[in-house]
Structure 1
Amino acid sequence: MAFDGIVLNAVTKKLKEEIESGRISKLYAISQYELLMVIRAHNKNKKFLVSIHPTYARIQLTNLDYPTPDFPDAMTMLMRKHMEGSFIEKIEQIGLDRIVKMTLRGRNEFKDQVTLYLYIEIMGKHSNFTLTDENNRIIECLKRVSPSESMRFLQPGITYHLPPLIEKKNPFTQDYIPSDNLITIYEGFSKDLAVEVKYRIEKGESFQSIMSQLESSEHLYIIKTAKKDYYHIIPLTNISENAACYPLFEGLDLFYDSLDQRDRIKQQTNDLMRYIKNEYTKNVNKLHKLEKTLFDSQNSDDYRIKGDLLYASLDKVHKGMKEVVVDNYYDGTKMTIELDVRFDGKGNANRYYNKYQKAKNSLKVLEEQIRLTKEEIDYFDTLNTSIEQADYYDALEIKEELEGLGYLKKKQVKKLHKKKKEPHYTTFITKDGIAIYVGKNNLQNDYLTFKKANRFDMWFHVKDMPGSHVIVHSQNLDEYTIRLAAKIAAYYSKGRLSSSVPVNYAQVRTLKKPHSNKPGLVLLSNYKTIYIDPDDTFLTEVMKKKNG
């Protein structure tokens, strides 16, 4: 596990500097695994994130913006009742284990001073966040554990006990003991760190020197490889000599941001993704059936011919017959015609005429239905591409769009008079200081193209496939900027894994919005096309700004 006891030791020391003696002013449950606290310390508001995610569990200060629910649940309300307004008196790590104890000093509803304890356990799938009173009686925990789930019982009302701890040596105070498995000897060691320490010692570095670096480090070193990304508070030189160095909390933000985003989208919008895919599949199947029906209708002359031939051969047809062979005077051959045993020749002929008329009348309806179904397929194909590349806010806007168009039912919530915010589009700044706006869903695309953009700005979009609207806020673009914007448009599209992707570009003033209730559609009249190979190398050439 990357977030081992040694990393937690560095995090705890920084937290003591930053928020010890601070006041908890607000608490949010931002997911089933995460709590976010706003702490006022040293005359600044600081965001303290606690995650008990089975894979990404950690504690840290963060500068990232996390979505907070409009209405807190019962657990959050209880935590707020006890914790908001309390001061963080002490932050301590239990040995070098992945457990942090925070002592809170506050007041109860009778204004009496009380002491509370927070126990944060960073232990993979057993991670937890537990609030207790001064007698260590559990008030609430983020993840309740029943006796049937574990030998360790965690429920409100019972006494909290630390998990069983294995006695190991403190690597900061003990000498080096050669071993193939340092994890079993020293506290706080993960597999990655144990391998690195052994590697460095074999290269001639002393154990005390390594531990001194670990004890004094306030940075995070991140290594990206094709299979996996790694980090620690010293460079993991056994993996690579090229580690990117960041301040501790900035590095944790960078490492976990995309992982958290993917998981949060999966948690919060899994039903939305499934709905979009189901609607796309449903319309594809519907189109297949409509086209088959249209083909049958276009070949409906066969029904008329059979009716004509039956009328010409009434003497040969009697009730109870299943078929009849008649002369086909249209081509001089014989034709076998199926009959309904309930009718005579005239009745069967009228039956075929009715089929012919019905098929003929249905042609216009079918053609219109096919047109509408193709529009639905294109629309949900666009949403499929958008949701695959969406962050949390992008996904919420897609849900809002579907609700606005009547595909999803809006939840009835108490109306609050809030100013409508602009969509959360992405902004990149080029090395020449040019702003490039990227819409990652239909609402953002519409807003950027028809509201945000200047009429002389340049608009980019992949040709004949779903993708982002990219607006370059500049006139008279050079070749470098055109290629850069085209690469961004191709990257944020369905063709991001293809090569030589065609990208159309035109001035915004030449664009028109079609007469459609669906957002994100544009009519082109005067444009050029460039072919580009999409990849993420453009990210090193631009600076990403906070979303709008």
Structure 2
Amino acid sequence: MHLNYHFLRFLAPALHQRFQGSRIVSCFSQSKDELILETEGPEENSFIRAHLLPPQVFLAFPAQFHRAKRNSIDLFAELVGDLIVKCGAFRFERAFYFDLGSGKKLVFKLHGNRSNVLLYQKDELLPSLLFRNEIREDRELDWTSLENPLDLGEERFADLDGNASQFLPTLGAIPRAWLKERGYPEASLTEKWQLMQDLLDLLDSPLYALVDRQGEIHLSLLPEENATKTLSDPIQATNELFYLALVKGSFEKEKISLLRSYQDQLKKTDSYIQKSSAKLSELKNAAPPSQLADVIMANLHEFGEGKTEAQLLDFYTGKPVQVKLKPNQKPQQLAEGLYRKSKNRQLELDQIEKTIEAKLRLKAELEQKLEAIEAIREFRDLKKYKKSNKEDKALSKEATGLPFKTFEFEGFTIWVGKSAKDNDEMLRGFVHKDDLWLHARQVPGSHVVIRMKGITTLPSSVLERAAGLAAYYSKLKTDSLAPVIYTQAKFVRKVKGSAPGSVMVDREKVVLVPPAGPDEETAAMKS
């Protein structure tokens, strides 16, 4: 209810008492949707802080505010030096205003995701300046239209058949829920009128209660049994709500989001370790293909006179084994293929063991990170942690507008840049120096990154998959085979002044793969 007329009509007189006679000494913003005004009063300085980032629209009026040295811009220069004469609330509207000594009017329109701050010149009905210029309809907003007197008499109530939303559209969710809990929808007209009068009496003499509703803090003007905190000063209630809902609430959400992201990654890592360990055990316990090759080579005479099939005694197991040749295949060729397969399997065993070792190191690192985040209690420490682990910021499920698509393959994470500018952003703000970077050779295309932090061995299948994506998201998409270069991210650098997506690459290697999109499988690496 902090954006509601029924609260603003108490807040405005309190603001009038605090700010009347104060002079505006600065007006600035250091984030896209937050405006801060600094005022100098007869006795002390104070600030007006309007955070208008939907859906988190909150106000605060702190005695102190530390302006950032960087990323801060002065706004509404016309306000600086002006005197605050009056603060008032528009009747039955989610808006309040400051009248200034120069005749200007500063309006705070609190319409949810259409919230804005508007400056009107003396005797002008249309705004001269908007804080959020993207809200185009506000350019034609006549401030007098915000005044909305309502007839709250019983006759009008009866004419509306007790429809609460039409009778008093400014009620808001909490008062409407209060009426519903008391059987308002089913009540008679007389009973509805009495319930409405009871509600208005409560709204006329409120205590400002901060309540937790499904993990979010709300301000209520009604008696609340399980209030987090109850206050009698509307400015103090607004400040406390700002801290609990925006500052602390955002901290808790960000912390939980980061924890869940690490937990999800840990779960995937555990799953990969378990599956790979089972596969490793299976391969180690299975007879190597070279044993069958030895049996074939010892029984070449069984394939005389053009025979393509024979039952041989496996002298390793003592059991018979059926061997069948392909058309025009010699037994020596089959044995050669089995020897090669056995050699490759040993390479696969070595690679799986190395990958499991890397995943075990990653698991230990994730467990340490989870322990570190659990211990964080302040936003400042969380911010410091994220800064020192900036390559992990893409883990957050709450993260929006990431400059890349994400793919998972055999326990590895692969990123594909969405555009030329996004390629630069991914390289600049997300990639670790040990990650593997790929790009279709000598043609425009997406940057592709295999996340390798803490991992020393990369299976060839993962390299092929990422290379297939790099080819698919490039001008070589329709080729049967495409050359893709790859190197460690530390050997990729952006040259100042170069075009978006353009980089210098050192120590690159080349792999030939068929382009393969998100739902396709890559073929074996060609070179």
Q: Give the TM-score normalised by structure 2.
A: 0.56
- CA distance 1:23–1:197, shift in 2 (3 Å): farther
What is residue 139 of structure 1 aligned with on the other side?
129
- CA distance 1:224–1:182, shift in 2 (3 Å): same
Whole-angstrom distance in 1 between the partners of 2:309 and 2:40: 90
Query: C-alpha displacement at 1:312, in angstroms?
Result: 1.0
- CA distance 1:160–1:31, shift in 2 (3 Å): farther
Residues 107-122 of structure 1: matches in 2 within 5 Å?
116-122=104-110
Whole-angstrom distance in 2 between the partners of 1:184 and 1:363: 73
Whole-angstrom distance in 2 between the partners of 1:210 and 1:16: 27
| Conserved 8 A contact 1:304-1:356 | yes
What is residue 92 of structure 1 aligned with on the other side?
88
| Conserved 8 A contact 1:88-1:103 | yes
Residues 450-489 of structure 1: matches in 2 within 5 Å?
none
The one-letter code sitting in structure 2 at the alignment partner of 1:122 is L
- CA distance 1:319–1:397, shift in 2 (3 Å): farther
1:265-300 deviations in whole A, cap 9, x for unaligned?
799999989986886577467546644652354246
- CA distance 1:197–1:355, shift in 2 (3 Å): closer
What is residue 50 of structure 1 aligned with on the other side?
50
1:321-364 deviations in whole A, cap 9, x for unaligned?
88653211223211134657676333432332333333335544
Residues 76-225 of structure 1: matches in 2 within 5 Å?
77=74, 79-104=75-100, 116-134=104-122, 135=124, 136-142=126-132, 144-146=134-136, 153-155=137-139, 160-163=142-145, 166-169=148-151, 180=162, 184-185=166-167, 189-190=171-172, 192-193=174-175, 220-223=208-211
| Conserved 8 A contact 1:24-1:87 | yes
The one-letter code sitting in structure 2 at the alignment partner of 1:123 is H
* Greater Cα offset, 51-60 or 179-188: 179-188
- CA distance 1:404–1:321, shift in 2 (3 Å): farther
Query: C-alpha displacement at 1:11, in angstroms?
Result: 1.0
Residues 98-497 of structure 1: matches in 2 within 5 Å?
98-104=94-100, 116-134=104-122, 135=124, 136-142=126-132, 144-146=134-136, 153-155=137-139, 160-163=142-145, 166-169=148-151, 180=162, 184-185=166-167, 189-190=171-172, 192-193=174-175, 220-223=208-211, 231-233=219-221, 235-236=222-223, 240=225, 244-246=229-231, 247-261=233-247, 264=250, 283=269, 287=273, 290-291=276-277, 293-299=279-285, 301-317=287-303, 325-337=311-323, 344-380=330-366, 393=380, 395-403=382-390, 410-411=428-429
- CA distance 1:188–1:282, shift in 2 (3 Å): closer
Query: C-alpha displacement at 1:7, in angstroms?
Result: 0.9
The one-letter code sitting in structure 1 at the alignment partner of 2:387 is E
What is residue 35 of structure 1 aligned with on the other side?
35
Query: C-alpha displacement at 1:50, in angstroms?
Result: 1.7
| Conserved 8 A contact 1:117-1:133 | yes
Query: C-alpha displacement at 1:90, in angstroms?
Result: 2.8
Q: What is the DSSP-based 3-state SS (H/G/I as helix, E as strand, rest coil) of the residue aligned with 1:57?
A: strand
| Conserved 8 A contact 2:92-2:170 | yes
Whole-angstrom distance in 2 between the partners of 1:3 and 1:94: 12
Whole-angstrom distance in 2 between the partners of 1:228 and 1:404: 29
Whole-angstrom distance in 2 between the partners of 1:269 and 1:67: 25
Q: What is the DSSP-based 3-state SS (H/G/I as helix, E as strand, rest coil) of the residue aligned with 2:47?
A: strand
- CA distance 1:373–1:28, shift in 2 (3 Å): farther
Whole-angstrom distance in 2 between the partners of 1:69 and 1:23: 23
Identity %: 13
| Conserved 8 A contact 1:168-1:184 | no
| Conserved 8 A contact 1:121-1:127 | yes
The one-letter code sitting in structure 1 at the alignment partner of 2:246 is D
Whole-angstrom distance in 2 between the partners of 1:327 and 1:35: 86
- CA distance 1:263–1:26, shift in 2 (3 Å): farther
What is residue 450 of structure 2 aligned with on the other side?
none
Unaligned runs of 5+ residues in structure 2 are: 183-189, 395-425, 431-527
Whole-angstrom distance in 1 between the partners of 2:429 and 2:382: 16
Q: Give the TM-score normalised by structure 1.
A: 0.54
Equivalences, count: 386
